[in-house]
Amino acid sequence: MQTILLTWWTWYIWSHWAVKLLELGYDVVIIDNLSNSDKSILEKIQKITWKTPKFYEWDLRDKNILEKIFKENNIKTILHFAWAKAVWESCEIPFYYYENNLAWSINLFEIMNKYNCKNIIFSSSATVYDSIWNPPYIETDLTWNTTNPYWTTKFLIENILKDLATFKSFKVVNLRYFNPIWAHFSWLIWENPNWLPNNLLPYVMKVATWELKNVKVFWNDYNTKDWTWERDYIHILDLIDWHIASINFIENFDNNKWFFEVFNLWTWTATSVLEIIKITCEVTEKNIPFEIVPRRPWDLDKSFCNPEKAENILNWKAKYLVKDAIKDSWYFIKNNSK
């Protein structure tokens, strides 16, 4: 099996990819500066897979360490997840986001080109679509008019990779998704931040366990079914399987041809903030208090996409519902709080 490099793997979401790839027999190499993650996840991955990936504790700003990684490992494919990703933070410190998400990525692409490693799966987002269009978005819809620096960096890297496919023969699978939720079925790796969560479901769960007072609902005048914004949520296990399908797509593609292929990843069902709260109330049999607070400048009424292209070409469909993820999350919390 080939060797795959993961960037920024130890954060909650991307550690799942290390598990899946090791279980499938791939050799896994990782680079992470541990800026907002924990090296102890290595031990959890070893418990799940009985294997330990090769780990480099560094970041992408250092070309020397990237050279070292490519010299020491016969890397064939990159899963690129190395991002600063908090929307509100990107508005506060945009220059950090431009450096972290753009400059560091360009370092990686340059070393990839030098060592003739042209296969990359990029973690993009449905937020690159121009907000003037009505969802569900399809891959040919215009991308532009982003509303915050984080989303802008996603848009710009997509276009850089498109250029590298055209002029440097990169093979790029560009995956657009939005809100991964829940965790690995072993319940050893999941999203339970020690700080105030940026994502809705872990925030709601911390209210359910009385760690937080209430859920902040950012206004209720959106053009949606219940006046709160709607998003696409996808179970982490579905998202992993779509990435494995993307690796197979690259491996089976004509070796002499470059491409830049975009896929939306989604479940066909948009869920509002109040629906997330209501489902959590049903699952936990608890009251989840919420408070209507002022709208944030970057929030859109609706953001979700059409996944038909991915279903047809990658031959994969989402199997899990939002309620499945909430049930799994609550099961984990109950069994780890005793």
- Listed in sequence order, the residues at least 6 apart from 311 whose beta carbon sits closer than 8 Å to its beta carbon are 317
Q: Is 203 a catalytic residue?
A: no
- Listed in sequence order, the residues at least 6 apart from 305 whose beta carbon sits closer than 8 Å to its beta carbon are 126, 129, 135, 136, 137, 138, 176, 178, 232, 264, 266
Residue 304, burial from CB neighbour count under 10 angstroms (0-12, 13-18, 19+) = buried
Cα gap 40→45, rounded to integer Å: 9
User: In terms of residues, how long is the chain?
Assistant: 338
Helix/strand/coil for 272:
strand
- Asked whether the CA dihedral 63, 64, 66, 70 is positive or negative, the reply is positive
Residue 210 token pair: 């009385």
Q: Point out the catalytic residue in the list 97, 150, 222, 320.
A: 150
Question: Which residues belong to the active site?
Answer: 150
